[in-house]
Amino acid sequence: MRHFLTIVSLLVVLVAWWATGTTWRAPQAEEQNSTAAYPPDFDKRLSRVTGVTLQRHAPLPATLHWQTADEHPGIGSPDARKGGTVSLSNAGPFPAHFLRFGGAVQFFHRNLQQATEIPLLAHHPLTQTATAGVASAWASDGNTVYFKLNPAARYNNGCQVRADDYLLALLLQAEQQCAEFETISSCISAAASHGDSLLSVTLRKGADLLDACRLLHAAEPGFYAAFNSRFRENYAQRIPPATGPYQVKTIQRGRLIVLQRITNWWGENLPLCRHRFNANALEYHFLTSEAQVWEFLLKGRLDALQTRNISAWQERLAGSDGLRTLVYDAEYPLPPYGIAANARTLPDIHLRRGLMHSMDMDGALAIMMRGEGRRLTTFSSGYGRLSPANTPQYRYDAESARACFTRAGYTASGGDGILRKPDGTRLCVQLLYTPHEKISNMVSFLAQSAKACGVEIVLAPVPWQTCQQRLQERSHELLFWAVPAPDKPNPKLFLDREAAPEFSPFGLESNELQDALEQFEASPSAENLARVDKMVYENAIWLPGWKENRVYLAHHPHLVIPPSPWCYDALDAHLFWVKAAP
């Protein structure tokens, strides 16, 4: 009985800890003194994977011409110094899990991956070429790329990174039918190890090498030794070993996550990382409102804040002392940010064109963003000379909208002003979005403008995870949507009929569009990209939103943020450092 009461008391303490968010040390992977073994049936399980051919101990070509990043310049300022703690706010909710794969991606996961993971290769913003990551050298043989892993590369639990670790990650994702495997299988057709230090992947036709490197990651076998069908529950709150400069130190449930820089980190001198990742510790505060974020900044509990809300910027900074500000425009690939129409659930092209004419995006920008948000004019923006310049646009026009709706069969007007078909079917379309103050105001304005054109747009605010689920099901009608844009134009990522649902909410089956995508892939010219963008317009699957390439950044004087014309977000890029005390 005494043992029973002890157990009950312990459970009560644990529940109380969970509810109050008491600080605890993050559950790191166990320290490893030796290299963990792979599953005993590893080879057999690899051979059963479909979609991507996985092979160990594969033969190598007789000759390979290796490239390195030895001559690449460092990124960031040579004046940067290491040390100090930097406090930042995190947009979005506290993460429900820390799964590297197999769970819905949440806002903090991007911050976590940028600070704790290094890809095989990455895009160097100054040379505009691939640069070293976990791979210190690479070579190509047709569509197959070979990676020579850096012998110094280690996980944050001390284990060496091996080529088979990448195969293990692909195997686990494939066996559990994770969405990540579907995405990577659209980029690569095969992966193989050639001993511990050599890995190769075979790219599918038109796939981008750096996209594949961004999607691939290593799985430390000791951490995943207990992996099974219940991994989502068993691993949700465990932090996987990773290769980057930071590791999770403490977690205060619902409030704070602290990342600690690894002492003598193996990648310190990589061109990708030189003069970056300077703070000894990063504190990410999860705050409930923008007003609270500003309160923390003005009281010195946050070191910096980047915002796109010009009205808040003007109001909050008025009369504030001691803060330094940066305002600049940055040229970078812009996400296709706007309203996506699903051609599967809205198959009538006249209906979709009417919807495009019925939402007053220009008016919303003028009123909601005080003229600071500039209208996107094309699907592929921010790519310099490749960006299409003269893509047609749908303008808000009630007469044109009603003409399109009439062609779609909505010929009568009801007593509430909403158009109907002769059988009484009302013109009613649902707009899915994740609520946020600015977005919520924006979609409300768009719905009101549409009502004047005879269409009822039903607003459906749902959590981000629900949005992702609806995308996987392809069950949405209209969706307020944006995803990060790739470094190079890659319209197939968004528009290919085989594109992953999270990147393609459009659901359009068009042989003509498919041909245009193939043509751009074979010859990535401005003319071919303009053809793709024009077809996006003609098929009425996307209403361009706005671009926010103007950066408003406020910070306290002890935080140094160097000018970086190549970088849109100096905070995300970890270029900053803490000034030494006088």
pLDDT band at 16 (very low <50, low <70, confident <90, very high): very low
CATH assignment of the domain containing 46? 3.40.190.10
Q: Which domain holds residue 561?
A: 287-327+552-578
Q: Strands, E, within 410-505: which ranges?
A: 412-413, 419-420, 428-433, 456-461, 478-481
Is the residue at 133 inside a domain?
yes
pLDDT of residue 308: 67
Q: Are residues 433 and 314 in the same domain?
A: no
The verdict on residue 106 lying in a domain is yes
Q: What is the mean pLDDT of the chain?
A: 87
Tell me, yes or no, whether 115 and 144 share the same domain. Answer: yes
Q: What angle do helix axes 349-358 and 437-451 make, rounded to 10 degrees?
A: 110
Pick from 111, 110, 109, 114: which is nearest to 99 by CA? 109
Indicate if 425 and 298 belong to the same structural domain. Answer: no
The 10s digit of each residue's pLDDT in 251-260 is: 999 999 999 9
* Residue 569 counted as domain residue: yes
Q: In sequence order, what are the beta bridge partners of 481?
A: 338
Quick one: pLDDT at residue 307? 76
> What is the pLDDT at residue 88?
95
**Cross-sheet strand order for the sheet of 324-329:** 304-307, 550-555, 324-329
For residues 182-211, average pLDDT: 92
- 305-342 per-residue burial string, b: 16 or more CB within 10 A, e: under 16: bbbbbbebbeebeeeeeebeeeeeeeebbbbbbbbbbb
pLDDT value, residue 132? 97
Q: Residue 303 corresponds to which amino acid? A: D
In angstroms, what CA-CA distances link 460 with 267, 431, 467, 478?
Answer: 45, 6, 10, 10
Q: What is the pLDDT of residues 523-542, one digit of tens each?
A: 888 999 999 999 999 999 99
Tell me what the mean pLDDT of segment 440-445 comes to.
91
Q: Does residue 493 sit in the same domain as residue 573?
A: no
493 falls within a domain: yes
* Residue 464: per-residue pLDDT: 80
Residue corresponding to tokens 């994740």:
434
Q: Which of the four pLDDT bands, split at 50, 70 and 90, describes residue 21?
A: very low
Q: Looking at the structure, tell me whether residues 484 and 524 fall in a common domain.
A: yes
Tens of pLDDT, residue by residue over 279-299, are 999 999 999 888 888 889 989
**Shared domain check, 455 and 347:** yes
Can you give the pLDDT at residue 380? 87
Determine the 3-state secondary structure of 310 from DSSP. Answer: helix
Domain count for the chain: 3
What is the value of pTM for the model shown?
A: 0.69
Task: Give 502's pLDDT tier (boundaries 50, 70, 90).
Answer: confident
**Maximum Cα–Cα distance across the chain:** 79
Residue 176 lies in a domain: yes
pLDDT band at 11 (very low <50, low <70, confident <90, very high): very low
Of residues 340 and 320, the one with the higher pLDDT is 340
Tell whether 243 and 106 lie within a shared domain: yes
> 255 and 191, same structural domain?
yes
Residues 174 and 292 in one domain: no
Last residue within a domain, chosen from 205, 227, 261: 261
Same structural domain for residues 34 and 182?
yes
Considering the domain architecture, whether residues 497 and 375 belong to the same structural domain is answered as yes
pLDDT band at 331 (very low <50, low <70, confident <90, very high): low
387 assigned to some structural domain: yes
- pLDDT, greater one: 137 or 14: 137
Q: Identify whether 10 is part of a domain.
A: no
Q: Is the pLDDT of residue 483 over 90?
A: no
- Does the residue 350 lie in any domain? yes
Asked if 309 and 242 sit in the same domain, the reply is: no
